[in-house]
Structure 1
Amino acid sequence: MIHNPITQLEQLTITKASKNFLKETAKWAKFLSIIGFILIAIMLVFAVFATTIFELAGKMQPGMPASLGLTMTVTYLVLAIIYFFPVYYLLQFSNKMKTALSTKNDETLAKAFDMLKSHYKFIGVFTIITMSLYALLIVAAVFGGL
């Protein structure tokens, strides 16, 4: 009977090098999540003022749709909400990883990796949805243009 060493392990030892890599990864994750939250805040500020901005732009540029401001407000609010989740998961990964490494707590380490999994799962599903929408637009453009 052949034994697979990976399946025999009940625990996985984190070497000093691995711990340093995880610490550095957690720092970069925190940096990226902070930048993400700043960008979300900018989106929300823009969403609040979009109606006014596009109303003024419409007065200077005749022919601009009157509902463009409301459309932009809704668009930026939706984008901010969508963007919140992966950024939140990344911040949670960073915080939990830092705690897990300093306390040597296996449960916290598992929660950190769960947050990282959630981050990448969200990004993956969002990418699939986006690519599907692009494919539908291309098909609609091809058949609509015939």
Structure 2
Amino acid sequence: MTSLASCLFCKIVKGEIPSMKLLETDTIYAFMDIGPIAKGHCLVIPKYHAAKLSDLPDDQMNDILPACKQLAKATGAEDYNILQNNGRAAHQIVDHVHFHVIPKPAGAGDKAGLVVGWPTQTELSKEDITKSFEEMKSRL
């Protein structure tokens, strides 16, 4: 896990690393991704350092989705993905909560933007799903 002092995104928020800032509020910072997978690919990060979404205090989340929405509109793309990963197994590279806003260019199909395969867990029975439901519900 990245420490606060060495966190790439914390350094961007502090102005120690340059970025192409798009939006900023008291709690978030949004900027262009330097390794984009589509034209207009950008990131929204909380200024508060938290590795995963589950580590982020609720009071630091108020501006995230409105910023994602505003940026998605600003890309001009009709279709887009909002992506947020948590942990290495889920493809998170930078250990600081971040949301990708990734436009899907018109007519690009799977040739541009985020390419996602969605494998269905067909081996899960109705009983398995019910058990998961009950476990999750008890933790809420």
Question: Is TM (by shorter chain) over 0.5?
Answer: no
TM-score (norm 2): 0.22
More helix by share: 1
More strand by share: 2
